Amino acid sequence: MATIDPLAEIVTLLQPMARFSKQVACTAPWHIYRDGTGEPFYCAILEGSCRIAFGTGPAVVLLTGDFVLAPAMRALRIESLDTPPDLPANQPEKLGEGLFHVGRRDGPTDLRMRIGHCRFDTHDAALLVSLLPDQVIVRDQPRLTTLIQLIDEEARAQRAAHELVLERLLEVVLIEAMRSASAIATAPSLARGLADERLAAALRAMHMQPERAWTMAMLAQEAALSRSAFFTRFSRSVGLPPMEYLLIWRMALAKQLLRQPGLGLEQVAQRVGYGSASAFSVAFARRTGMPPARYARAHTM
């Protein structure tokens, strides 16, 4: 049986689609503020340094080569390192196609960055994004900057099949960013769980066989840990208890299957680990707020 990569599966189900990207040159002092959109946001620092903060979180200094990803962007503030507290937010000035400037009109450019916004083209985005970290900061990974440049070039070229190419490039960016940051991740997330060899074994088992009647003891055995040690370690690293994670993944899969014509409730129930359509219907309705049959009628592909 082929090995399943949980992170790749989740990113693929999210179906990332490019909205727009732009290169921004900045002349200090400056700062940009944007309300939270809940959509994916990324930023690659091409040259220079700045500070960035999401929501009420702490500001982080970014340097040349750094990359930031927020799967669901909260309120965003980006600013020069010497920005006074009372400086009004700047509005980027368009210089040309995909090129913008922020800050004073005179003076040297102290920062160049490429920022982009995309969206997840799935009805299950919130459910799946809950398994990802709030934000990812990757340092000294030129591959990511190269990938962002490829996305920008592809978006402008409008060549045949460019939507498909953009989708695949964005999938690679998301996976590359999260796996690059997983080794140093401190916040609970799927990426942090996958960085733990024992937890990764249990996560892969869940994704490989979602139809199996998993118990805590069975998953602990996959991780070669006692039940109590596995529960504590999984909850601390992933941010959810093991059976809650399994339920979220099964419901995400169920939603995808229900949107496919020709599959009955019994078939969907079996594929996501339920012994009967009635048991699956109860669990699905409790989790999503509507019976699976109604969901299927509303979202059939």
pLDDT grade, residue 183 (50/70/90)? low
DSSP state of 299: H
Contact 119, 38 (CB under 8 A): no
Task: Say yes or no to pLDDT of 157 above 90.
Answer: no
**Of 21-35, 178-192, 205-219, which range is least confident?**
178-192
pLDDT for residue 51 is more than 60: yes
How many angstroms separate the CA atoms of 108 and 218, rounded? 61
Percent of the chain with pLDDT over 70: 96
pLDDT at 211: 94
Which pLDDT does position 182 carry in this prediction? 60
Q: Which residue has the tokens 């450019």?
A: 109
What is the predicted pLDDT for the residue at 147? 85
Length of the chain: 301
In 3D space, the residue among 60, 8, 40 whose CA is nearest the CA of residue 176 turns out to be 8
| Of 46-50, 191-195, 285-289, minimum mean pLDDT range | 191-195
Average pLDDT of the residues of the chain = 87
Q: What is the pLDDT of residue 142?
A: 80
Q: Give the whole-angstrom CA distance, residue 300 versus residue 291.
A: 14
Bigger pLDDT: 180 or 193? 193
Task: State mean pLDDT over 72-79.
Answer: 93
* Band (25; pLDDT cuts 50, 70, 90): very high
Q: Looking at the predicted structure, is the pLDDT value of residue 208 above 70?
A: yes
- Which comes out higher in pLDDT, residue 4 or 97? 97
Does residue 14 surpass a pLDDT of 70? yes
CA distance 113 to 22: 8
> Rounded to an integer, what distance in angstroms lies between the CA atom of residue 198 and that of residue 162?
39
Burial 158-182 (b: 16+ CB within 10 A, else e): eeeeeeebbbebbbbbbbbbbbbbb
The helix (H) or strand (E) run that includes residue 239 is: none
pLDDT at 186: 63
Confidence band, pLDDT 50/70/90 cuts, at residue 81: very high
pLDDT band at 101 (very low <50, low <70, confident <90, very high): very high
For residue 185, what pLDDT is reported?
56
Global pTM reads: 0.77
pLDDT at 47: 92
The 10s digit of each residue's pLDDT in 102-120 is 998 888 899 999 888 888 8
State the average pLDDT over residues 26-39: 92
User: Average pLDDT of 227-242?
Assistant: 95
